[in-house]
Structure 1
């Protein structure tokens, strides 16, 4: 039986382990932390075929510069002499054009639709109850400029075969009658879904450990040995690991682990924040995106999760309460009766989205090491794209016919 060692126990690592275990591989997962603190847990739980436009797109540079001067804005780049950030930024600027957006649309759509299909299959299994809901997502806007941008996005989405509809304010109110709103309208991304991340991660972990997959927590990779174009051994702070195939799925920590193997992966950690509040009245039942504010609101487990911001900086444990305040203050501007309280610092979750400079994930083999596959760089769509990435990696490891073309996602691009 072929042995696979997966480094990283986030949604990418767990999903890859799930599909490999189904195919009969002997799988071990190692992670430096606890599964409960990974980036998959605190996000908005959205499955988003609607997101076929990469972060590196026209207008993002100009918009990003404007946002940098507002302490409560959705986007921030911490000024520093960080050479990795400078290199990342130059690559981002190179890709922020319409041609890149056009080239990326179909691969991102196909990856998302595959993931949604796999989530549906997973939710039909007895042991996987994670509040999967298929009522779509509503992207609300307050300005004519945002309305025009969203209408253009919806038209493009329909060209790609995605179910998206432009709604006026009256139609928005008819869908969410309990929710008082002050908006011009919304685009209903009917192609989207959402789930409760904590239940998903718990169900996956429980299933894997009940079916022969060893998950070793608190093991930090310290050294990687290579021989004849292959990884021959991985050393953690506790022991030595050997396998036939290796998977690198360590999110924003991937560049450091890749460096141990002599590889370079361009990723910047994009810190995001979220917090939850009980919502007994169930006024908001369909996830909301607040377009101008770049804030997400998702109903989960009898509560609402509020999330947003993108801070590009080194990995750190600082909680920027001004950014959280920006989330809090934006909500009543769209929904006057929804007035979340400013959470205590200890109640604020934060995680680091692994952001590639072109806005596309890294999925595939590296030419440098022929027994290593890579799954990282998914940015804000990690949870959304987890099952598809894991499934494709299982096909790659098994040298099977691939479900889709993944050349756009090559780690060596």
Structure 2
């Protein structure tokens, strides 16, 4: 079997390592930072076959322009003269149409359903308790316009074979009897699940190390050597690493790594925020999406994680408190008894979602190299699609037929 180096230790890298090791490959992970700092840790923990509509969809451009003038809005593109952002934006505009949404629905459904199935298998095979719960997600709405849009989404979802139900306010109350609701209704994404990201990431790290996968933190790749159609070695400072196959799974840092091989990946970091609040009463048992506010809320073992926003632009470590306040202020509009306080900066998590222009991940080999696989660009669904991506990467490395078609995820599609 092959010796494989994975560049990136987030959920995509860890999942790839899991399935590559399972297939008999010798695996090494190189991560630029600490594994307890990766993007997936602050994730809402939602496994979402319901999310078959990509970010590049009709109406997003018009809505995005309106949101740009609201400092607390859930979506924001930071103005920049960056040629990468300009190029990404042009591609996004070209894909934000109904045809693309229809073409993307089946690939996104298939990879999501595969991932959901694999999460159950990982829990059984490893014994890691990461809180996998299959009671769905409630997408609450307050306006007739959102109700109409969600009903249309539910209808499309059912056509795709997904279990979704439109609920009125009383039916919502019956599912969450301990919460005071101020909503018009919700769509219950019964096809969805949720997990505890922290338990998953730490559990996978321990499991992989115990089973012979080498994981090196603070090992940023600084150079990549190539010869012909092959990558031959990578460098982390003065240390060199050789392998038969290489996987770039560096999330929002993947373009910088890929550029060392002469490959351009169209991908922009989308900053998101989250924070935890103690909830000993456990009034919420089913995760929630606040449709108009674009906020995700997930119960996690006596706490609630609130998260949201997509701030497109260059990576930076600044916390935009107005975005966080936007999340906080939206909650009591749907749940009058939930009043999270604005957290202090040290309690706010932020991470960079690797957003492709068309809302689909990049998974597969490039035409330029025979031994390089790209696995990135999952946007807000990295945690959700981790296991499926890892299995696909392993099948590609092993030159086996993939569990689902990967043609829509080609790294060379742009």
Matches within 5 A, 1:27-176: 27-176=27-176
SS at match of 2:354: strand
Aligned partners of 1:213, 1:126: CA distance in 2, in Å? 14
Deviations 1:124-158 (A, max 9, x none): 23531100000000000000000000000000000
Matches within 5 A, 1:179-194: 179-194=179-194
Matches within 5 A, 1:150-299: 150-299=150-299
**Residues 127 and 203, structure 1, Cα contact 8 Å, conserved in 2:** no
Which sections of structure 1, spanning at least 5 residues, go unmatched? none
**Residues 219 and 238, structure 1, Cα contact 8 Å, conserved in 2:** no
SS at match of 1:118: helix
Aligned partners of 1:3, 1:125: CA distance in 2, in Å? 23
List, as ranges, runs of 4+ consecutive aligned residues in structure 1 with deviation greater than 6 Å: none
Aligned partners of 2:127, 2:260: CA distance in 1, in Å? 37
How large is the RMSD of aligned CA atoms in angstroms? 0.6
Aligned partners of 2:330, 2:125: CA distance in 1, in Å? 38
Aligned partners of 1:247, 1:301: CA distance in 2, in Å? 34
**Pairwise CA distance, 1:402:** 1.3
**Residues 55 and 358, structure 1, Cα contact 8 Å, conserved in 2:** yes
Q: Paired residue for 2:8?
A: 8
Count of residue correspondences: 413
Matches within 5 A, 1:366-385: 366-385=366-385
Deviations 1:188-215 (A, max 9, x none): 0000000000000011110100000000
Which sections of structure 2, spanning at least 5 residues, go unmatched? none
The TM-score normalised by the length of structure 2 is 0.99
Aligned partners of 2:22, 2:342: CA distance in 1, in Å? 44
Deviations 1:301-327 (A, max 9, x none): 210000000000101100000000000
Instruction: Indicate how the Cα distance of structure 1 residues 107 and 126 shifts in structure 2: closer, same or farther if over 3 A, else same.
Output: closer
Aligned partners of 1:407, 1:106: CA distance in 2, in Å? 12
**Residues 138 and 189, structure 1, Cα contact 8 Å, conserved in 2:** yes
**Pairwise CA distance, 1:23:** 1.2
Deviations 1:237-275 (A, max 9, x none): 251000000000000001100000110000000000000
SS at match of 1:54: coil
Aligned partners of 2:128, 2:372: CA distance in 1, in Å? 29
**Pairwise CA distance, 1:89:** 0.5
